Amino acid sequence: MDAKTKRTLRECAAKYETRAFIEGDPSWFMHQVKGKRNMEATAFVASSLSFGSRAQFMPKIQRLLDFAEGDMDRWIRTGEFEKHLKPSDGACFYRFFSAATMNSFLRAYKRTMECHGSLGEFVKGACAGNAVKAVEAIVRQFRKEGSSGVIPKDAGSACKRVCMFLRWMVRSGSPVDLGLWAGFIDRKTLVVPLDTHVLQEAKRLGLLKSASASMSTAKKLTAALAEAFPEDPAKGDFALFGYGVSGASVKSPDCGR
């Protein structure tokens, strides 16, 4: 990576990793609740539905938080979600997730809480401080508990939503990310959440040549971003977001300036 690209990425990250970033972003929900376990549960549920159009998935996340009366952890832990999302209900909840699909997901989450205390405690015991192992553990756990459709079936896919959740949980000292798991996962091991938009901007910057959204590609992108952010490669997620939003990829090599 040349010096100009590094400067562009660092400028974009500094410009967009601010409190203002939260508005309209799914990370907004975890900042609206109190208590570490509740923040963790709200973040996990919010991240799991964060795909497609924000105009469509943000109201769905809000609907769940309304069902939970602001306490997602309690709502799941006590099984109250069964009142709102029944296992026999095939009606669409969001996109290709039915109410029954959501029920299966939340049941798997509840069982994880019952066995380990919280998702964080489960991951802590399974990841050996490594975010990639954390992704693999979460995918494996939800598949084992019978959830299908919400959490990816395997960690060979980009697992964008799980990686985004881990960024929220692990990065500390950020106005956006919570850092609740900073004590047991090294931020250097985080994988950048990879979707079509991020892939497009990374290719325009010359950081990637591959066009496939896979975990292998996400790791390659993370390694490239580590050249600009060696201690915190996931900070590059904000840089690529800002690079695209600012129009830098079209207007200028320097974050829209």
Q: Which pLDDT score is estimated for 247?
A: 60
The per-residue pLDDT for 244 is 82
> So what's the pLDDT on residue 249?
47
Q: Where are the domains of the chain?
A: 3-251
- CB contact set of 14 (below 8 Å; sequence gap of 6+): none
Question: Between these two residues, 129 and 249, which has the higher pLDDT value?
Answer: 129
Q: Span 213-226, mean pLDDT?
A: 96
Please determine, for residue 211, whether its predicted confidence score (pLDDT) is greater than 80. Answer: no
Which pLDDT value is given to residue 121?
98
Each residue of 181-192: pLDDT tens digit? 999 999 999 999
Give the list of residues 6+ apart from residue 234 with CB closer than 8 angstroms, or none. Answer: 167, 170, 171, 187, 190, 191, 192, 222, 225
Q: How does pLDDT run across 27-76, given as a tens digit for each residue?
A: 999 999 999 999 999 999 999 999 999 999 999 999 999 999 999 999 99
% of the chain at pLDDT higher than 90? 89
Name which of 182, 163, 170 is nearest 221 in CA terms. Answer: 163
Neighbouring-strand partners of residue 214? 157
